[in-house]
Structure 1
């Protein structure tokens, strides 16, 4: 009985073998077509979407590693496991070349980019300007006029033996160390350094493993606030006027001729701009494709009348940086100006302002400083431009900086952020701050005589409002 079904099956297969074979071949053809379409789609994805973005990924990695190693004096592992650890930047592989102080980066061996370190100028990504020309820009900076180890804080490094009374230091230290992920634990807070200055005194600081008080860390867009300070100084030097049309020759005969320096400072220039750090945008093209960032930024057309719309734009900051450069008669005077006029006078001796490949400071994004130096910068503004008795910046400029930019809803001043919109609800309304990519912050709180610095490589799991509230709670009632 068992042989009958087998016999029937054999007869069925023999009589229908042509039909079965045809169906089988048809299925193979369909599978081949699906596989072909899949690979075609993959190729199109790589060509149209992924490939144009890979040079931005490798550019970010090469520049970040170069600055981290040669400016920040950190190890390759320290930088790659932190600032370069997020996707898609984590796809890049970097190689350090100590022989010429450079770094190269690739993704799967492709889209190789190179960044070079130059003395006095920091690191620069090579783009459309020859490497030899970029390297030739290196300059020796003038030495600081004092030894910080012999001078008291804040200008120097000597800290007093006593601290301000009334502070709950035990709780303050708990808050600061809670902001730092413990060694060997899951990296959640992703904080590299915190520093607290109260009543002019450094009352607390904490650092992640491998980072200390002498480690320069990236400020990203906190650089904009340094840039605003330099503009204020050039105004005081009678080289610039904020209410006159911006001195950009290329704008004289078109609608951009009505853009003022104040419009640029307030992010209300009306220039067409796309500020997106995670895709191909004006911001990423400026930072990772073009060697002369000022030239790229001034080429943008008008989208809105000046002062009619607020839009955050790193391009306008680099326009300001180029304008500052054009007020100097020679490159050396320009390149040493931030150090002689600002950094040395405020004790910021571990601060570097980096240039692009054309030699213009990247006022939108590229500066490195220690947590203590960033705190010193905050102190300069806390005391309205006066630092340790020295009027470094006009108090009037500080007042201008903190006026609300048109149409910013109380969130922005002149390259500084404000808390007028209550974004930090448990923090005094007079708080203002520098704000950089990946959670870099300097908070200045005049009503509490307080400066708070937080530096890190992410802010996803870091609650700034809670952090500041807890710090303020440790201080005497003010």
Structure 2
């Protein structure tokens, strides 16, 4: 599906989001019902921020009690998509090759079966490394261990896991893979990824609120931790909805956004939904793609409607599917 260009009469939101209105064609009765579900009931958990942007304009926003447009919200795994953007910038600089072996020091021994794992396979969650992505307290969980007691070196923890499947043969969502990628990005950026983020990504987009977190080893915890306002998460989303272009300049390499939304092979039986390269696919219908985070954090891009949906809140695991369905229903109100 083609990506929409910024309308010629709409300023880029580098300084502030241009204001717009909900379209007259909106199914208002359904939209109001869904707002009530989000803010006046617990059907999809507690909603702290909800904002819609269409045609490059902010057309609607609402916040829960105690929250507002100036508040910073947790990314959780939405940070994975930010990590993918950082990799894209470094690929454009010629400092990373997604089809080359990822060259983790943990895999340097002669004959190590992990050595052939490529950056592309990591971005597609297809490295074959063992990693248990479980958020239920008391369950065996590599992600909880990595982000908790082992947070001193998140990439080292993840890269030390054994191989369970041949690289590229098995899809398994794993936050550890992102932190291996983030370490590679940091090395490629000259071991100052924080400055690189601001100079090459956040700054050009006018994102002033991001708070990325780093571990004790200096690695960006790209799996999970970059706080920002809803407006800034939408700016990042607009960069991708515009094909990596900002203010007429190609920031991300040509084709990088298409790479992000190209489906990854998944073996039969995968229940989580289709996946691209550190972006999820189809949550709001065919052609949509999204940055999804634990507890119900979403930045959803819908190219055919030129629409961005940002939602932050606290949604327990047992309501995760209800929230995903809610996102799809909200977007359907615009069709």
TM-score band by shorter chain is: 0.7 to 0.9
Question: In the alignment, what sits opposite 1:243?
Answer: 99
Offset, 1:250: 3.0
Note the residue ranges of structure 1 that are not aligned, 5 or more in a row: 1-150
Which residues of 2 match residues 17-416 of structure 1 at below 5 A? 154-157=13-16, 159-160=18-19, 163=21, 166-168=24-26, 174=32, 177-182=35-40, 189-252=45-108, 253=110, 254-278=112-136, 279-290=139-150, 291-329=152-190, 331=191, 333-407=192-266, 411-416=274-279
Question: In the alignment, what sits opposite 1:97?
Answer: none
Query: Is this contact kept in 1: 2:34–2:326, CA < 8 A?
Result: no
When residues 447 and 230 of structure 1 are mapped into structure 2, their CA distance, relative to the original with a 3 A threshold, is same
Query: Is this contact kept in 2: 1:180–1:192, CA < 8 A?
Result: no
Note the residue ranges of structure 2 that are not aligned, 5 or more in a row: 1-9
Separation in 2 of the partners of 1:357 and 1:214? 29
Separation in 2 of the partners of 1:243 and 1:205? 41
CA deviations 1:38-64 (Å, max 9, x no partner) are xxxxxxxxxxxxxxxxxxxxxxxxxxx
Q: Larger radius of gyration, structure 1 or 2?
A: 1
Give the TM-score of the pair, scaled to structure 1.
Answer: 0.61
Separation in 2 of the partners of 1:283 and 1:214? 30
Query: Is this contact kept in 2: 1:172–1:204, CA < 8 A?
Result: no
- Residues paired across the two proteins, number: 314
Offset, 1:178: 2.0
Offset, 1:204: 0.4
Separation in 2 of the partners of 1:235 and 1:188? 38
Q: Does 1:451 align with 2:314?
A: no
Structure 1 residue matching 2:264: 3-state secondary structure: coil
CA deviations 1:227-255 (Å, max 9, x no partner) are 01111111111111011111223313211
Offset, 1:335: 1.7
Structure 1 residue matching 2:77: 3-state secondary structure: helix
Query: Is this contact kept in 2: 1:353–1:361, CA < 8 A?
Result: yes
Structure 2 residue matching 1:257: 3-state secondary structure: coil
Give the TM-score of the pair, scaled to structure 2.
Answer: 0.86
